[in-house]
Amino acid sequence: MSNWWRVRLGRRPWWMNVLMIICAYAAFVHVPSDFFCTPVARDAEVWFGVTLRGWAAKLTEPLHWLIYLCGAYGFWRMRPWMWPWASLYTWQVAFAVFIWELHAGHWLRAIIGGAVTAAFGGALWRAQAAFDERGVPLRDRYGEWALITGASGGIGAAFARALAREHMSCVLTARREDRLRTLAAELERDYAVSTRVVAVDLAAPGGAEELARAVEDLEISVLVNNAGFGYAGRFERQDAERLQTMLQLNCVAPVLLTKRLLPGMRARGRGAVIITGSAAGAQPVPLNCVYAATKAFDRFLGEGLWAELHGTGVDVLVLEPGPTLTEFQAVSGELAHAGEQPDHVVRVALDALGEQPSVIAGWYNWLRANATRLAPRSLVALAAGKVMGQWIPPEMR
């Protein structure tokens, strides 16, 4: 826990931590208690040095509340949109402090209070780069080479393009070599990065080991465990061998690959492991039981590793997409249904990398994945079965 706080507070200079704590206090204690407990007649708010009283104060308080909530969140996550409004707002506060104290006849307090607050505003103005870690290309954050499994299409190909855009060289792997070569040529042409193609069946015994050996001479800094497939249908009707292949690809391969590539990242003190799980891994999914269970495995694997590696410089993220428009539905044997674009899903993942253990793409998927927090598990399982039933051909229901 203390390590968690050390890492969290270590992301910004001490004076920004002070401002964050002030914002959090104002957002969660001071402004709400003022809003709900101070009688209208006694309420007062200061804006740009002008004191509003009574209803004028009460009605403008929600805006203060919003500002401090945004400030607390923006400092906590070091959001790029904090610049420049945080410094402008702090200067406004400095001016207000000055006027307020002067009115009260405390000229020394007006000068010191106003100057100190203005100095914080100035420091914020100069700290633009600190809010813009995403401005640092992933290659500079983690290193040169990324390895993406399942790169011959869908989410994996979108990951490869996004990482190449961040100047990362890419190892592209899947079974369909022709597709990988076409993508490699595109990345080299469009982003001037190096590529390596390794065609391998990760569900075959020794597949993960073969892949690890093929990249032994490279420093893999970002590992994207993305290859996977679904298999929809009633459990009794599913083929045992295909289920076993799915377990091998969705669960065993990420464990073995991470086991092989993580030590290099640990030794270098930086790197990232991404695992593509699924929103289906957050709850039981009848008519897709085993697939959902493999993705629950991926989720627990990734979130556990995130905690083990927290503070080591190696970031771990589980990406949990909902329905996404790739070949997944056809391969799973699902009827075609709506979904998100893979590029968007990958953007969500790269934005969350280094920030949190897992991320669900899309608010609707977030609600569905968190349904077990709001309703009994039995109800959620039955409802999930109803949704799944619409997506499955009659012979597999």
Ligand X SMILES: NC(=O)c1ccc[n+]([C@@H]2O[C@H](COP(=O)([O-])OP(=O)(O)OC[C@H]3O[C@@H](n4cnc5c(N)ncnc54)[C@H](OP(=O)(O)O)[C@@H]3O)[C@@H](O)[C@H]2O)c1
Give the active site residues.
291
Segment 261-280, which members bind ligand X (CB under 6 A)?
Answer: 276, 278
Amino acid sitting at position 352:
A
- Nearer of residues 46 and 360 to ligand X, judged by Cβ: 360
Q: Does 152 bind ligand X (CB under 6 A)?
A: yes
Query: Residue 121 and residue 45: Cα distance in Å, rounded?
Result: 20
* Rounded (10°) angle between helices 177-191 and 154-165: 20
Q: Does 175 bind ligand X (CB under 6 A)?
A: yes
- Nearer of residues 125 and 300 to ligand X, judged by Cβ: 300
Q: Does 174 bind ligand X (CB under 6 A)?
A: yes
Cis (ω within 30 of 0) for the bond into 84? Answer: yes
Q: Which of 207, 209, 217, 210 is nearest to 169 (CA)?
A: 217
- Contact with ligand X (CB under 6 A): which of 113, 143, 156, 333? 156
Segment 183-202, which members bind ligand X (CB under 6 A)?
Answer: 201-202
- Contact with ligand X (CB under 6 A): which of 140, 209, 239, 327? 327
Query: Residue 210 and residue 214: Cα distance in Å, rounded?
Result: 6
The span of 105-113, 234-242, 305-313, 326-334 binding ligand X (CB under 6 A) equals 326-334
Q: Which of 55, 33, 129, 128 is nearest to 88 (CA)?
A: 128
Q: Does 143 bind ligand X (CB under 6 A)?
A: no
Structural tokens at position 56: 């004028």
Q: Does 365 bind ligand X (CB under 6 A)?
A: no
Least Å distance between CB 396 and ligand X?
Answer: 17
Residue 284 bridge partners (DSSP): none
Size, binding site for ligand X by CB under 6 A: 29
- Contact with ligand X (CB under 6 A): which of 67, 168, 328, 350? 328
Amino acid sitting at position 131:
F
Whole-number Cα distances in Å, 7 to 1, 55, 71, 89, 200: 10, 43, 20, 27, 38
- Nearer of residues 171 and 202 to ligand X, judged by Cβ: 202
Binding site for ligand X (CB under 6 A): 150-156, 174-176, 201-203, 226-230, 249, 276, 278, 321, 323-324, 326-328, 331, 339
